[in-house]
Amino acid sequence: MRLTLRRPDDWHLHLRDGAALASVVRHTAWQFRRAIVMPNLKPPVTTTAAAAAYRERIRAALPAGSRFEPLMTLYLTDGTSPDEVKRARASGFVHAVKYYPAGATTNSDAGVQDLLKLHAVLATLEEIDLPLLVHGEVTDPAVDVFDREKVFIERVLASLVRRYPRLRLVFEHATTREAVDFVAAAGALVAATVTPQHLLLNRNALFRGGIRPHNYCLPVLKRERHREAVLAAATGGSAKFFLGTDSAPHAQSAKENDCGCAGVYSAHAAIELYAEAFDSVGKLDALEGFASVHGADFYRLPRNTDSITLIKEPWTPPGSYPFGDEVIVPFRANEPIAWRLAPEGG
Ligand code: DOR
Ligand code: ZN
Tell which residue, 333, 337, 332, has the closest CA to residue 310.
Answer: 337
Asked which of 99-103, 107-111, 292-296 is least confident by mean pLDDT, the reply is: 107-111
What is the rounded average pLDDT of the residues 248-253? 98
What is the rounded average pLDDT of the residues 288-298? 98
Percent of the chain having pLDDT more than 70?
99
What is the rounded average pLDDT of the residues 92-104? 94
CB 73 within 8 Å of CB 89: no
Q: What is the per-residue pLDDT across 26-35, written as a single tens digit (0 to 9) for each?
A: 999 999 999 9
Is residue 323 pLDDT above 80, yes or no? Answer: yes
Could you confirm whether 114 is annotated as catalytic?
A: no
Which three-class secondary structure state does DSSP give residue 307?
Answer: strand
The ligand that comes nearest to the alpha carbon of residue 246 is 2
Report the alpha-carbon angle 5-10-12, nearest 5. Answer: 155
pLDDT of residue 345: 54
DSSP 238-258: -TTEEE---B----HHHHSST
For residues 195 and 199, what is the distance between their CA atoms, to the nearest angstrom? 7
Which three-class secondary structure state does DSSP give residue 5?
Answer: strand
CB 10 within 8 Å of CB 247: yes
For residues 132 and 169, what is the distance between their CA atoms, to the nearest angstrom? 5
Is residue 346 pLDDT above 60, yes or no? Answer: no
CA of 33 to the centre of ligand 2 (A): 19
Average pLDDT in the chain? 97
Q: What is the per-residue pLDDT across 53-84, written as a single tens digit (0 to 9) for each?
A: 999 999 999 999 999 999 999 999 999 999 99
Is residue 103 pLDDT above 90, yes or no? Answer: no
First-to-last C-alpha distance (Å) of the chain? 13
Burial label, 297 (beta-carbon count in 10 A; 0-12, 13-18, 19+): middle
- pLDDT class for 140, splitting at 50, 70, 90? very high
Report the alpha-carbon angle 248-254-258, nearest 5. Answer: 130
pLDDT of residue 108: 73
For residues 170 and 223, what is the distance between their CA atoms, to the nearest angstrom? 23
CA of 8 to the centre of ligand 1 (A): 22
Residue 253 vs residues 58, 73, 323, 327: alpha-carbon distances, Å: 24, 28, 11, 8
Give the domains, in start order, of the chain with CATH numbers: 9-303 (3.20.20.140)
Residue 243 vs residues 1, 11, 34, 128, 175: alpha-carbon distances, Å: 22, 6, 12, 25, 13
Decide whether any atom of ligand 1 lies within 6 Å of the 14 Cβ. yes
Is residue 262 pLDDT above 80, yes or no? Answer: yes
- Cβ count near 120 (within 10 Å): 12
For residues 34 and 14, what is the distance between their CA atoms, to the nearest angstrom? 13
What's at 232, amino acid-wise?
A
CA of 173 to the centre of ligand 2 (A): 7
Residue 284 vs residues 7, 13, 18, 87: alpha-carbon distances, Å: 15, 23, 37, 40
From the CA of 261, give the closest atom in ligand 1: 11
What is the rounded average pLDDT of the residues 16-20? 98
CA of 3 to the centre of ligand 1 (A): 31
Is residue 336 pLDDT above 60, yes or no? Answer: yes
Decide whether any atom of ligand 1 lies within 6 Å of the 105 Cβ. yes
What is the rounded average pLDDT of the residues 293-322? 98
What is the rounded average pLDDT of the residues 79-96? 98
Most ligand 1 atoms within 8 A of CB, residue of 40, 171, 172, 175 to mutate? 40
Most ligand 1 atoms within 8 A of CB, residue of 145, 175, 246, 247 to mutate? 246
Main-chain dihedrals φ then ψ at residue 4, nearest 5 degrees: -105, 130
What is the rounded average pLDDT of the residues 90-104? 94
